[in-house]
Chains A and B, each alone.
Chain A
């Protein structure tokens, strides 16, 4: 028997609200435990978004690599330097950099892990929204709540570029391979050349792409004086309601806990 996949299709603005909520909560709470809970929520949201849309296949290993590399950088950076702001210094070991010796404290490492988790929470929330929502669905939903068409289209186009850039990157990579180029691991500088070409081409390609998109949009009548209409209907489902209620309750609880009870900030080990 084929296993049923758990998928949830949300109203386009609900995904956006979840992403914003995760970002706001991640900036409010610096405590490691709460950061971990938020991270797990973001992970669930992201996995469900991935399962909901085929569009998600456009995301590549490079994106995940970037996420993990960023989180590790944050852990390292905070592990090294954040201890200066922490009251008790339980120094694990000292790291010699040049003539200086930097103390790496357990608090610094904990703070770093929290920062890494918060960073991942924000990005997973954003990615979950991006992969789970078609750009034009989001723009149309914005128009439904009387957002001006220009702003809605601007949002749609911005998100539209993400998979485009990813595809462009893949094409450039294939073109280099097809022309006989292969990164010789013994020649480390080869990587610099490859990424140099990729980055500059991506920038130029993106500008040209934007010009082309503008032209095609004009040909399809964008900017005409009549009011835009859209062919799809977007329904606010019971699941959207559940999510919204949960967000409101969680926000209220979080604000109470943070500002009335003073919970959720990072505390050094006594």
Chain B
């Protein structure tokens, strides 16, 4: 049974020359699990906006082709009517939360559809239990962590029991447990209730849903439409499409496994089987713990002494004692709502501690020499929209240069702006408003507005990989490596253990406002209990090494080299 069908769809935004979508055809069937993958801007969000009626009802442009929901063409149908058939969870959770209590947020859609009070309460309680957000009852959504907000948005969409649910990059703010649970829940919705799931993403999933299909978009054009399992390990194709390939697929490929897995435990079993068959398993190769490679100095860049902060509406207080050396690159990981962003804001002087002290470059960020500190400290927020407050990208960059310049007589900011714009691929959009940019461009502009300052000694980045496409992710990786070489201290909060594993010198694990693990990435991630105890997924490379009994490696090349060498040694023996 067809839920939605799209035939020869093209769309151009008002005032733009390029087509955002060009000649797209697709069909969405009951119970289907469809991935729509592509880099940014590929047209994924435009397609979602058309399927939900936002285009052309709210966003103007030139639309051609036909779109039908449940057999009815959507031309002239209102957004609220379409919403009963197709639910939509947008990329940015902040932009879709309306109410001031969690329960009200979930109930709003049901109330507007005139359901009776007992049914509203019953459905609301059921969905809160399903999405595991019962503990958030009574809280103000604006005080929730990014992941909690995302779960709330999903609950608010699912409570309407739509025939199809479109989710625009729903995993960006979720911790490992949240991702696993959401995947499981979406699979159940698709299999048991027959709800069609459309998942928009820039990454190939590690655990594709069974029998899932995929359409891959690039610059508004359809690159391919097929079963996901058939191209899951086609890394050349993903690179060409600008989509981030699955790290698990890469490890499977190295181990010679040719099929995808749907769950983590199944993936581990497959890895173990494959290694056993090829005699690559090792009982234990003991190696001393790898030393971190960072440019350590004796100087302390950041010190938190008996730091305390009463987190509003949370069940815990943040309590941290911490020293970060100059030139160190530190990753802070932990479950949603564990206090990562709060710690970063305390270090950045945006929050006032309830007790203890924060020292940044030896100064209190709230009372010390503010001018000195602000010239040397840069901070980016989770949401790039919060970072850009002037009307063009250029003005935003200029503001940063002028605000943080040590040179009082600075007059010509143009060279620095142009250099940064080139580095960040923003040259063509310098005069554009941040509102007109794609999410990825906005993210790059936000990062550029921080890193345009040449005097930075400390950089604090809150979830910098959130929603990034392949090219921007690679750009960020290069920039961080450059900062590391320059001896800049970098503190990054993230859920992206694959990214941080390759770059950080030190990992801090935060749980309920405290640092529960502190060490090199290899030592922290090698702890097999991370997933269960702290909802932190180690990189698959670490998992693979643990299963195979190898000491931790830092990249795929090293892993492949070890596999080859060990297999060769076994054959020789």
Interface residues of A (CB under 8 A from B): 54-55, 57, 134-136, 160, 163, 167, 171-172, 174-182, 184, 197, 201, 208, 212-224, 226-231, 233
Of all chain B residues, the one with the shortest Cβ separation from A159 is B100
Of all chain A residues, the one with the shortest Cβ separation from B460 is A178
Given A175-B389, A178-B381, verify A222-B112 contact (CB < 8 Å).
yes
B354 proximal to A (CB < 8 A): no
Number of A-B contacts (CB under 8 A): 145
Interface residues of B (CB under 8 A from A): 52, 54, 57-58, 78-81, 83-84, 88, 95-96, 98-101, 103-104, 107-117, 120-121, 124, 140, 142, 156, 160, 312-313, 345, 348-350, 370-371, 373-375, 377-381, 386-390, 399-400, 403-404, 435, 449-450, 453
**Inter-chain contacts of A178 with B (CB < 8 A):** 348, 350, 378-381, 387, 450
Of B84, B142, B378, the residue contacting A167 (CB under 8 A) is: B142
**Inter-chain contacts of B388 with A (CB < 8 A):** 175
**Inter-chain contacts of B374 with A (CB < 8 A):** 177, 180-182
**Inter-chain contacts of B450 with A (CB < 8 A):** 178-179
* Min CB gap A103→B, angstroms: 45
Ordered by A's residue number, 15 sampled pairs between the chains whose C-beta atoms are within 8 Å are: A174-B381, A176-B389, A178-B387, A178-B450, A182-B371, A182-B373, A208-B435, A212-B95, A218-B58, A218-B79, A219-B79, A220-B109, A229-B117, A231-B107, A231-B111
Of all chain A residues, the one with the shortest Cβ separation from B81 is A224
Of all chain A residues, the one with the shortest Cβ separation from B82 is A219
Chain B interface helix/strand/loop/mixed: helix
**Inter-chain contacts of B160 with A (CB < 8 A):** 221
Chain A interface helix/strand/loop/mixed: helix
Of all chain A residues, the one with the shortest Cβ separation from B96 is A216
**Inter-chain contacts of B390 with A (CB < 8 A):** 197
Contact indicator B140/A179 (Cβ below 8 Å): no
**Inter-chain contacts of A197 with B (CB < 8 A):** 389-390
Contact indicator A228/B114 (Cβ below 8 Å): yes
* Min CB gap B85→A, angstroms: 12
* Min CB gap B141→A, angstroms: 11
Contact indicator A181/B100 (Cβ below 8 Å): no
Of all chain A residues, the one with the shortest Cβ separation from B388 is A175
Contact indicator A219/B140 (Cβ below 8 Å): no
**Inter-chain contacts of B449 with A (CB < 8 A):** 179
**Inter-chain contacts of B313 with A (CB < 8 A):** 54
* Min CB gap B436→A, angstroms: 12
CA distance A174 to B345 in the complex (A): 9
Contact indicator B379/A134 (Cβ below 8 Å): no
Given A167-B142, A184-B371, verify A215-B79 contact (CB < 8 Å).
yes
Contact indicator B95/A54 (Cβ below 8 Å): no
Contact indicator B378/A179 (Cβ below 8 Å): yes
